Amino acid sequence: GPALLFVKTSQGKEEGRRFYACSACRDRKDCNFFQWEDEKVSEARLAAREEYNRSQQPCFTHRQNVDRYKNFVLLPLSKRRFCQECQQLLLPAEWKKHSDHQLLCDITTAQLKNPSQLLYPLENKKTNAQYLFTDRSCQFLLNLLIDLGFRRVLSVGTPRLHEMIQSKASQEKEFNVRGLLLDIDFRYSQFYTEDEFCHYNMFNHHFFGGEAARETCRKFLCEENGERVIMVTDPPFGGLVEALASSFKKLMAMWSETEKEGHDNREMPVFWIFPYFFESRILDFFPSFSMMDYQVDYDRFALYKHGKTGRRQSPVRIFTNLTPSMIVLPEEEGYRFCSVCQRYVSSGNQHCEICNSCTSKDGRRWKHCVLCKKCVKPSWFHCNNCKCCTLQQHSCEKTDSGCFVCGKAGHKRSACPSLSRS
């Protein structure tokens, strides 16, 4: 889809040279697209670029994949095969072409209902970072959404939550939640229809299926018969918050356009799942959001595992524009309700009478620093030279250059007033 516009800055210079680069891949090895904003591109180069783009397209369209799936499920178990190298469901006529590949045989209906466990996770941190929710987190999220009264879930980059919704809907007659998955991983088109999955880039709000896919999303967001909609998104943690916020605001605007009279300028309900240390960046773009203490954990990722004590805990949290008191967290997992803050917090997150808030971000009990006038991590100490709390073992040396962009002191590059927020 469309590239993003970046700026290459130099130390102490306010002006930088602007360039276009891939919105999804932040490693030139994955996508080498680069173009200066003021660069004139020759016809030959444009033609070569178009040819390269065509060569990178999937073997089958979404419609063809849907038809192939219908034929695949009609096959007896002994003839259901999946190519692990090509990450593709195979029909008998295609076996010969994949004869020297690693194949999975006897693909069951249960495996087809849980494609995230059949497909290899795309784990390139700079491109996909496809880490998937554990069953614990997934089940908690779904139960919470149901308890809050939501009957439609727009899953943006949360394939495991979507498949749990789809699986329950096909097995339980009384289950009345519907889902739509927006994801950049086109492999899911093998398992879901056009009404269940849209190939989507959350960094530039691009629907690869064009206007038809955009209309599918718009129709899904229409709240009919009291079926409330919520967006649940789990972006790659290395992604630009600015780009993500821009796309999410466009999805929220799409929801607003579908709303009938009387919505009182409400925002579309959102669960943005992201590490707690991005809190200030998220709140810059969504002041109505607040961070919940619930630890979201992931399969096959030791750093993102749930833990009740110590530092080895998942740093991933839920940011939402829903009223915090509505988000009930499980007491058996170590959460309690703070009557002053009117929200559920981690058991180690003690209320600070001076800050008048439960201030911990990482699950440990934080301590109040009178000089900093705020609570800080328990391992931090106040440094009179730095005039702030920091780790005991640190360097007090400060560079005179200040901000990397403008050279002035008092702020970092990300907060430099010289940079355009557009």
CATH number of the domain bearing residue 142: 3.40.50
**Structure confidence at residue 30 as a pLDDT band (50, 70, 90):** confident
- Is residue 114 in some structural domain? no
CA angle 136, 302, 120 (to 5 degrees): 75
**Same structural domain, 331 and 280:** yes
**Same structural domain, 10 and 33:** yes
| pLDDT (tens digit per residue) in 249-280 | 999 999 998 766 555 668 999 999 999 999 99
Of 347, 373, 397, which residue sits at a domain end? 347
- Give the residue-averaged pLDDT of 313-342: 92
| Residue 182 predicted with pLDDT over 50 | yes
In the prediction, which pLDDT does 129 show?
A: 54
C-alpha 216: how far from chain center: 21
Q: Could you give phi then psi for residue 364, rounded to 5 degrees?
A: -85, 165
Q: Three-state SS for 49?
A: helix
Helix or strand (DSSP H, E) at 246: helix 241-258
Left if phi > 0, otherwise alpha if psi is -120 to 50, otherwise beta: which for 334?
A: left
**Structure confidence at residue 305 as a pLDDT band (50, 70, 90):** low
**Same structural domain, 83 and 229:** no
Share of residues in the chain with pLDDT > 70 (%): 86
Query: Domain limits at 88?
Result: 62-107
**Same structural domain, 48 and 163:** no
Sign of torsion over alpha carbons 162, 57, 97, 64: positive
Q: What is the mean pLDDT of the chain?
A: 87
**Same structural domain, 73 and 38:** no
Domain count, the chain: 3
This prediction has a pTM of 0.88
- Is residue 187 in some structural domain? yes
| Residue 120 predicted with pLDDT over 50 | yes
**Same structural domain, 149 and 69:** no
Nearest to 171 by CA among 114, 89, 225: 114
Q: How far apart are CA 159 and CA 234, in angstroms?
A: 9
**Same structural domain, 218 and 147:** yes
List % helix, strand, coil for the chain (3-state, nearest 5).
30, 20, 50
Q: Three-state SS for 119?
A: coil
Nearest to 362 by CA among 352, 351, 372, 348: 348
- Is residue 215 in some structural domain? yes
In the prediction, which pLDDT does 399 show?
A: 46
- Is residue 295 in some structural domain? yes
**Same structural domain, 149 and 281:** yes
| Residue 140 predicted with pLDDT over 60 | yes
- Is residue 311 in some structural domain? yes
In the prediction, which pLDDT does 419 show?
A: 55
Q: Could you give phi then psi for residue 387, rounded to 5 degrees?
A: 60, 35
Q: How far apart are CA 209 and CA 27, in angstroms?
A: 25
Q: What is the dihedral of CA 23, 24, 30, 35, to 10 degrees?
A: 0
- Is residue 25 in some structural domain? yes
**Same structural domain, 164 and 293:** yes
**Same structural domain, 165 and 236:** yes
| Residue 368 predicted with pLDDT over 60 | yes
**Same structural domain, 239 and 194:** yes
- Give the residue-averaged pLDDT of 13-31: 83
Exposure string for 28-41, b = 16+ CB within 10 A, e = fewer: eeebeeeeeeeeee
**Same structural domain, 223 and 261:** yes
Share of residues in the chain with pLDDT > 90 (%): 64
| Residue 416 predicted with pLDDT over 70 | no
Return the residue matching tokens 């090509």. Answer: 86
One DSSP character per residue, 68-114 reads HHHHHHTS-GGG-EEETTTTEEE-GGGTGGGTTS-EEES--HHHHH-
**Structure confidence at residue 209 as a pLDDT band (50, 70, 90):** very high
